[in-house]
Every structure is written in structure tokens, then in C-alpha cells.
């Protein structure tokens, strides 16, 4: 992961800038579950985000479910 920024506007969301294996930069927009998982990730860590579908919450809303795998980058820059 390269960076984390917060969006401006009515709804504040995290935007994660990620460098892919083929050297492309992509932006991933956070949501509640993803943001909680990404709290453990540091800048320059290697990550894999997997979308696992929707889950019904206790109040009837659909929540997106993710899995985040992390490998700490301990290389010197």
C-alpha cells in the first residue's frame, strides 16, 4: 500500500492507493469493514484484498465482507 487519504465532501471515506504486481496504481474506496481490517496495515506493506460478498446485518442492511492478507515489508528504502 502506498498511501491513505480521506475524501472531502458529505461522506468522509478512506481511499487507499495501492501499487499492483504489474506496477499500476489503483484506488480502493473504504467501507466500515474494510477500514477496520486496513487499520492493521502500514504504508509499504504488501496486501491482498479479497471481496467475499454481502452479509445481512442485525438491522437489515447489507454489509460488504472482505479478507485482507498482509505481509510486512521490511526492506530498506
Provide the grid cell at 11: 461522506
Residue 76 located in a structural domain = no
d(CA 50, CA 60): 23
Residue 15 located in a structural domain = yes
* Whether pLDDT at 7 is above 70: yes
pLDDT at 77 (0 to 100):
55
Provide the grid cell at 33: 469493514
pLDDT band of residue 76 (cuts 50, 70, 90) is: low
Q: Which domain holds residue 41?
A: 3-71
Between these two residues, 52 and 75, which has the higher pLDDT value? 52
Between these two residues, 77 and 15, which has the higher pLDDT value? 15
Taking a C-beta distance cutoff of 8 angstroms, is the pair 3, 17 a contact?
Answer: yes
Residue 66 located in a structural domain = yes
**How many domains is the chain partitioned into structurally?**
1
Match 500500500 to its residue by C-alpha cell: 1
In which order are the strands placed within the sheet that holds 25-29? 3-6, 14-19, 25-29
pTM above 0.85, yes or no: no
Helix (H) or strand (E) holding 1: none
Amino acid at each position: 500500500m502506498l498511501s491513505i487519504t480521506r475524501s472531502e465532501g458529505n461522506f468522509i471515506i478512506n481511499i487507499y492507493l495501492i501499487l499492483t504486481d504489474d506496477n499500476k496504481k489503483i484506488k480502493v474506496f473504504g467501507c466500515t469493514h474494510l477500514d477496520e481490517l486496513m487499520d492493521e496495515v502500514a504504508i509499504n506493506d504488501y496486501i491482498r484484498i479479497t471481496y467475499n460478498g454481502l452479509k445481512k446485518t442485525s438491522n437489515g442492511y447489507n454489509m460488504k465482507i472482505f479478507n485482507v492478507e498482509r505481509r510486512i515489508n521490511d526492506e530498506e528504502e
